[in-house]
């Protein structure tokens, strides 16, 4: 009876004192019952669920594949307009029609001429070569885009987390986004440069042969043959021609990621203020929440591409095959810039700008939208 009374008294004291006293009482009777850690366990599980490194790899690859397929016609057009082969044809066409160079027309008329010529070439591709020509090089393009986007998003997403956790107390900041974007750009450019070089050379090689009307002028049989000939003629370093221009392009991807993150920060803040206000969500609020990140991705790409576009032209020129005598026309980044400037004028550094912008802006919106969507399906966040 005495033991029962003491036990009941101990139980009553434990109920008043809480989980800690219950643990002490349990030890008194020879049983060890740990304190309640369900809340900490839940937080740990949520944190582990949020951190899925592989999700960024999958989401980036799927986003790149979707956007590349839908915007392939404009990629074909952009590559042709950036090459000096098609720039020569455009110049000859202008001279035949008595049209002066764009540099002599002023910014407005020169821009209008460039815009008109761009769509003339786009519509002539399917008339002369058929609709399939608009998807020419899609296979090699996907071979480059899917790993490039997967690597870029994987490196950026996980790099951002690692930098913020180890150097900023787990908090994101503008400098964290910039450092993660620079790292992702360098890793992606180094890993995928040979793929893009082969893709560019095959696309231009096939186009030249078809313009001449004979397949015998084809220099490369396939991707593997292109790699073999490049290594044989230019060495292993030939596969990395244009890499310096790709590194210059890191400024574009860094600026794009920074602007996109700032856009997301604004949208998240707006959503938090809306929730705190307690007012009912309107149709406008729903539209902004649904399409805000897509719009942020497209806007960020538009501004970043417009500011840094000349490196795209230089990169394409440096990846072109050597001349017939085996001599390289463009031997370095600075030399390539100066040669284009002297021979073709500043306007040529923006050759293909219109199809490029028409392609990359919707492409970025599609890609980042798919990226965010896949991450949500995987139960994680960007």
- Give residue-wise pLDDT tens across range 305-328: 999 998 888 887 887 777 767 788
Q: What pLDDT was estimated at residue 371?
A: 95
pLDDT digits (tens, 9 = 90+) for 22-56: 344 444 444 444 444 444 444 444 454 457 899 99
Least confident of 40-44, 278-282, 302-306: 40-44
Residue 218 pLDDT: 81
Model confidence at 103, pLDDT cuts 50, 70, 90, reads low
- Full-model pTM: 0.70
Top pLDDT among 113 and 27 is at 113
Residue 127 has pLDDT above 90, yes or no: no
pLDDT score of 361 more than 70: yes
pLDDT given at position 216: 62
pLDDT of 21? 41
Q: What confidence score (pLDDT) does residue 88 get?
A: 73
pLDDT mean over 55-77? 91
3-state secondary structure the chain: CHHHHHHHHHHHHHHHHCHHHHHHHHHHCCCCCCCCCHHHHHHHHHHHHHCCHHHHHHHHHHHHHHHHHHCHHHHHHHHHHHCHHHHHHHHHHHHHCCCCCHHHCHHHHHHHHHHHHHHHHHHHHHHHHCHHHHHCCHHHHHHHHHHHHHHHHHHHHHHHHHHHHHHCCCCCCHHHHHHHHHHHHHHHHHHHHHHHHHHHHHHHHHHHHHHHCCHHHCCCCCHHHHHHHHHHHHCHHHHHCCHHHHHHCHHHHHHHHHHHHHHHHHHHHHHHHHHHHCCCCCHHHHHHHHHHHHHHHHHHHHHHHHHHCHHHHHHHHHCCCCCCCCCCCCCCHHHHHHHHHHHHCHHHHHCCHHHHHHHHHHHHHHHHHHHHHHHHHCCCCC
Lowest-pLDDT range of 89-98, 332-341, 362-371: 89-98
> Which of the two residues, 93 and 272, has the higher pLDDT score?
272
pLDDT at position 213: 65
Lowest model confidence (mean pLDDT) among 35-39, 53-57, 159-163, 375-379: 35-39
Of the ranges 22-36, 212-226, 288-302, which one carries the lowest mean pLDDT score?
22-36
**Per-residue confidence (pLDDT) for residue 282, from 0 to 100:** 86
- Mean pLDDT for 52-80 is 89
């Amino acid at each position: 009876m005495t033991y029962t009374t003491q036990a009941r008294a101990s139980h009553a004291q434990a109920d008043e004192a809480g989980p800690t006293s219950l643990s002490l009482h349990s030890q008194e009777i020879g049983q060890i019952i740990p304190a309640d850690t369900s809340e900490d366990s839940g937080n740990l599980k949520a944190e582990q669920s949020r951190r899925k490194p592989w999700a960024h790899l999958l989401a980036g690859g799927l986003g790149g594949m979707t956007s590349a397929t839908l915007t392939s016609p404009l990629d074909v057009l952009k590559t042709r307009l950036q090459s000096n082969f098609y720039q020569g044809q455009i110049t000859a066409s202008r001279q035949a029609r008595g049209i002066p160079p764009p540099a002599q027309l002023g910014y407005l008329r020169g821009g209008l001429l460039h815009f008109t010529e761009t769509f003339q070439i786009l519509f002539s591709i399917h008339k002369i070569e058929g609709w399939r020509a608009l998807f020419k090089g899609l296979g090699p393009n996907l071979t480059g885009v899917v790993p490039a986007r997967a690597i870029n998003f994987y490196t950026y997403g996980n790099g951002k987390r690692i930098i913020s956790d180890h150097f900023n107390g787990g908090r994101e900041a503008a400098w964290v986004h910039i450092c993660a974007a620079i790292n992702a750009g360098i890793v992606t450019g180094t890993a995928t440069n040979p793929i893009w070089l082969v893709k560019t050379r095959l696309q231009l090689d096939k186009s030249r042969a078809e313009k001449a009307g004979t397949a015998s002028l084809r220099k490369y049989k396939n991707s593997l043959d292109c790699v073999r000939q490049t290594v044989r003629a230019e060495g292993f370093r030939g596969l990395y021609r244009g890499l310096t221009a790709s590194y210059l392009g890191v400024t574009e991807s860094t600026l794009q990621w920074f602007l996109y993150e700032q856009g997301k920060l604004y949208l998240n803040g707006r959503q938090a203020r809306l929730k705190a206000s307690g007012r009912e969500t309107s149709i406008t609020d729903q539209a902004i929440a649904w399409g805000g990140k897509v719009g942020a991705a497209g806007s960020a790409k538009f501004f970043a591409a417009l500011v840094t576009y000349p490196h795209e032209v230089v990169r394409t020129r440096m990846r072109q095959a050597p001349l017939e005598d085996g001599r390289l026309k463009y031997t370095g980044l600075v030399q390539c810039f100066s040669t284009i400037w002297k021979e073709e004028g500043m306007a040529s550094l923006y050759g293909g700008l219109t199809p490029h912008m028409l392609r990359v802006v919707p492409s970025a919106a599609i890609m980042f939208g798919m990226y965010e969507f896949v991450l949500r399906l995987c139960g994680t966040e960007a």
